[in-house]
């Protein structure tokens, strides 16, 4: 697809959404000489960009729909404490979304989706390097992600997925570890853990700190960020795009980028985007540990991700299909603790802080939406599911190329919002 004439070589852009995806797009637009204004209904990194596990994990970035996910979802349907929670109540929009998601849970569609992810995964860490080496003052830590299970048979699904990723053409390096090797590398792993897999070549960050540093860099390079700017509508005029908020506040630019996470469908659907985006909410909290945590720990059998965070441990989990603005359900926190406690020692679960819930934007085919909508000069960047942090900078880099050249990069073709 070739972008409309109005969107080629723009001088100004307004980015709606101050998370990792929106700010990365703004930063890379600045690299190409575009003046940017970023607006957000709340604050920088106020959504999923703050409370996630902080993993930069191309080795785990795969399409979410897959046969084992469908089986797991059916088993979890009536279990309120399961890592996947789907409320059993009348909600035509949610059940329509889940029906479409289920239709994509085949190996053939997973393989197609994996091929789409390969170019993005190949350059996602480089995109972070570009940011850090050019003014984004934040740390990126290199460390393996180690998956830990209680029983050997529980590792089989993850081992099979790694083999499938390799067969798809992506290089990943992993090593199977016995219990003794696990505890030697990670003092938090309990005696109940029988086996694990160490996935090398991954990284992690403090996500909130990184996104705030990215925002600071955008401002230092001449950009403007408007906080508490709730967009009510925006419209295309001959001279560009006008974004309107409360009290008559407006921002005008040559082009606009929608990067509003789980709220994106509100503005995307009227612009020809037929792929729905639903909130798959995740929870996290922080707990002290008796010893420093050397690197990220993944508990795949219970879908819990643990990351060194500000001298403690951030624990994240759950995929909860509820409204993005619904309140925190403390039972979900308790369920995460109950599932993780047997596998981790030296963790002060009762002294947790930073309890958080936030919505991850999920699409039924497991692929993000990146590119121009049917409205010339209005672009979309969203629907990354659990991989928004990992793919945020590479998304911004490729979308900035499309916006400024008028040509869709080959890597973005599978993610066309009008598919």
Q: What is the pLDDT of residue 260?
A: 97
| Cα–Cα distance for residue pair 159/42, rounded to 1 Å | 41
Q: What is the pLDDT of residues 165-183, one digit of tens each?
A: 999 999 999 999 999 999 9
Helix (H, G, I), strand (E, B) or coil at 23: helix
Give the separation between CA 311 and CA 259, rounded to whole angstroms: 31
pLDDT at 138: 98
Domain that holds residue 248: 5-415
Given a cut of 70, the residues of the chain with pLDDT beneath it are: 1-8, 72-81
Provide the 3-class DSSP secondary structure of residue 16.
Answer: strand
Copy the structure tokens of residue 121.
Answer: 């995964």
pLDDT of residue 382: 96
Q: At a CB cut-off of 8 Å and minimum separation 6, what does 146 contact?
A: 177, 182, 185, 186, 196, 197, 198, 199, 295, 296, 297, 298
HSE, CB side, 13 Å, CA atoms: give it for residue 81: 8
pLDDT of residue 6: 45
Task: Kindly state the DSSP code that residue 350 receives in the 8-state scheme.
Answer: G
The string of pLDDT tens digits covering residues 256-274 is 999 999 999 999 999 999 9
Q: Is 371 helix (H, G, I), strand (E, B) or coil?
A: strand
Exposed, middle or buried: residue 174 (CB in 10 Å: 0-12, 13-18, 19+)? buried
DSSP 8-class letter at 327: P
Cβ burial of 56 (10 Å; 0-12, 13-18, 19+) is: buried
CB 125 within 8 A of CB 57: no
CATH number of the domain where residue 352 is located: 3.50.50.60
CB 7 within 8 A of CB 245: no
The domain total for the chain is: 1
Tokens of 98: 């889940």
Per-residue model confidence (pLDDT) at position 2: 37
In DSSP notation, 165-219 reads HHHHT----EEEEEHHHHHHH-TTB-TT--EEEEE-S-EE--HHHHHHHHHHHHH
């Amino acid at each position: 697809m070739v972008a409309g004439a109005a969107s080629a070589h723009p001088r100004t852009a307004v980015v709606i959404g101050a998370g990792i995806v929106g700010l990365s797009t703004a930063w890379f637009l600045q690299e190409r000489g575009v003046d940017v204004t970023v607006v957000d209904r709340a604050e920088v990194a106020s959504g999923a960009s703050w409370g996630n596990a902080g993993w930069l994990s191309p080795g785990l970035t795969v399409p979410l729909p897959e046969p084992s996910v469908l089986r797991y979802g059916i088993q979890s349907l009536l279990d309120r404490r399961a890592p996947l929670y789907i409320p059993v109540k009348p909600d035509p929009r949610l059940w329509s979304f889940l029906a479409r998601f289920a239709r994509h849970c085949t190996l053939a569609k997973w393989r197609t989706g994996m091929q789409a992810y390969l170019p993005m995964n190949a350059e996602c860490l480089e995109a972070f390097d570009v940011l850090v080496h050019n003014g984004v003052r934040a740390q990126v830590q290199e460390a393996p992600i180690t998956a830990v299970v209680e029983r050997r048979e529980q590792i089989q699904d993850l081992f099979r997925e790694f083999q499938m990723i390799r067969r798809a053409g992506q290089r990943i390096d992993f090593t199977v570890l016995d219990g003794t090797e696990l505890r030697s590398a990670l003092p938090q792993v309990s005696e109940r853990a029988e086996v694990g897999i160490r996935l090398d070549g991954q990284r992690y960050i403090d996500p909130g700190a990184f996104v705030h540093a990215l925002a600071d860099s955008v401002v230092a390079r001449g950009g403007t960020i408007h906080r508490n700017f709730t967009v009510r509508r925006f419209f295309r005029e001959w001279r560009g795009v006008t974004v309107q908020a409360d009290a008559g506040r407006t921002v005008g630019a040559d082009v606009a980028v929608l990067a509003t996470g789980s709220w994106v469908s509100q503005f995307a659907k009227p612009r020809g985007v037929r792929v729905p985006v639903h909130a798959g909410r995740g929870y996290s909290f922080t707990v002290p540990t008796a010893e420093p945590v050397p690197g990220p720990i993944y508990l795949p059998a219970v879908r819990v991700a643990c990351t060194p965070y500000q001298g403690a441990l951030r624990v994240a989990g759950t995929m909860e299909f509820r409204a993005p603005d619904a309140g925190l359900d403390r039972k979900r926190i308790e369920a995460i603790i109950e599932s993780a406690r047997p596998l981790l020692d030296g963790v002060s679960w009762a002294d947790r802080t930073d309890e958080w819930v936030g919505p991850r934007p999920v699409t039924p085919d497991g692929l993000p939406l990146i590119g121009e909508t049917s409205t010339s000069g209005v672009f979309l960047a969203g629907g990354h599911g659990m991989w928004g942090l990992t793919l945020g900078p590479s998304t911004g880099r490729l979308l900035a190329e499309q916006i400024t050249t008028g040509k869709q990069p080959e890597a973005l073709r599978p993610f066309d919002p009008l598919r």
